[in-house]
Amino acid sequence: MKTSDEVRSFTVEADDDGIRVDRWFKRHLPQVGFGTVSKWARTGQVRVDGKRVKPDDRLAQGQQIRVPPGGDAPHKKDKPKRELSKAEIEQAEAMVIHQTKGALVLNKPPGLATQGGTNTFNHVDGLLDAFAPGEEDVRPRLVHRLDKDTSGVLLVARTPGSAAFFSKRFSGRSAKKIYWALVMGVPDIKEGVIEAPLAKQPGSGGEKMHVDHEGGQSAKTKYRVVDSAGKKAAWLELQPMTGRTHQLRVHCAAMGHPIVGDGKYGGKDAFLTGAVSRKMHLHARRLIIDSPDGGKLDVTAELPEHFAGSMEHLGFEESASDATPMRDDPPPKSREEKKQQARQHAKNFRKSQRSPRRSRGAAGKPGPKPKPKGKR
């Protein structure tokens, strides 16, 4: 690439088709500030196919961008790539379960943070340099995250364009994420929706969430019981319809069935005795999302060792669930519920055919009590 002391020329790639001029600079020349881009556009120094442009004009694939000399802001330059050890590179590569031109899909192990923080130095984001070894290689970027102790599917964008594409799908809720969880006890209603607004718990420094019906943000989770081990534990499919921090963990605890191993939200009641691991049992099993290359990206992640061992100990067969996204309409009625509904319909029909004289004596009797809805 030419230095900033010379006029530079760039070709708009397919990944940048439709992007705004100012956004293009932010992606490819982040050292050039917005104020400088605006000044260059106003004075005609930056041109596209020889014509003047505005910062909010859209670019098209194949166009030529003329960039004048200068404009560098040293304090805005990208951070240098970190030199990774051989073990770190192997750790990063071992997580890859699927890749396309625009995406890397990882199976994140439990105990590995997605991003860095206080006293957190080993994390997925820090390992992404393994996939961009050269100085000119584009560094992949995270587009969503998983809790440190949650395992499973984690999507990483390989280009700026695919990052914007995937981020829009996550924020628009069109991405389908299905989790597997082992919980304490067995929910009475086998399939349903948990709707409970969430907020940061006061005094926790933002590290813990709680249900707050007054000031919380709306949060919605679909769930389905796949199997149960007597009354002590159940295997659930969970599908978050919103993306709040710790949403699945708080919602499970709120309905009285904390996730096995989640002492943060279930306390001492979140642990099973015997051969079941004390690690958290929450796994992002499947992700279905539109692909920028066309079609769908549909990926499933294998269980970590501790989760698979607990499943076997409790007698659960993985084949009992294919992690299918849950229906938007109410769950279908069971055969017994359908029979009961048919009997009630026939009874009501016979009653409507009775003569007024025969029905007069029953006028004061109460009708049948309504049955609770839901799949039990």
Span 142-158, pLDDT tens digits: 999 999 999 999 999 99
Tokens of 324: 């299918």
Tokens of 36: 């400088």
C-beta atoms surrounding 197 within 10 Å: 17
Q: Is residue 86 scored above 60 in pLDDT?
A: yes
- Looking at residue 69, what is its pLDDT? 87
| Distance spanning both ends of the chain, measured CA to CA | 65
Q: What is the mean pLDDT of residues 83-105?
A: 95
The least confident of 250-259, 298-307, 323-332 is 323-332
Q: Is residue 76 scored above 80 in pLDDT?
A: no
Q: Which residues pair with 179 in a beta bridge?
A: 238, 284
- Looking at residue 246, what is its pLDDT? 97
Tokens of 177: 């994420």
Catalytic residue check, 147: yes
Q: How confident is the model at residue 365 (pLDDT cuts 50, 70, 90)?
A: very low
How far apart CA 83 and CA 117 sit, in angstroms, is 19
Q: What is the mean pLDDT of residues 19-30?
A: 86
**Which of the residues 16, 129, 147, 149 is marked catalytic?**
147
Q: How confident is the model at residue 348 (pLDDT cuts 50, 70, 90)?
A: low
The least confident of 54-63, 66-75, 87-96 is 66-75
- Looking at residue 33, what is its pLDDT? 86
Q: Which of 82, 166, 70 is nearest to 125 (CA)?
A: 82
205-250, pLDDT tens digit by residue? 778 999 999 999 999 999 999 999 999 999 999 999 999 999 999 9
Q: Give the whole-number percent of the chain exceeding pLDDT 70.
A: 83
Backbone angles phi, psi at 121, to 5 degrees: -115, -20
Most confident region among 9-13, 212-216, 341-345 by mean pLDDT: 212-216
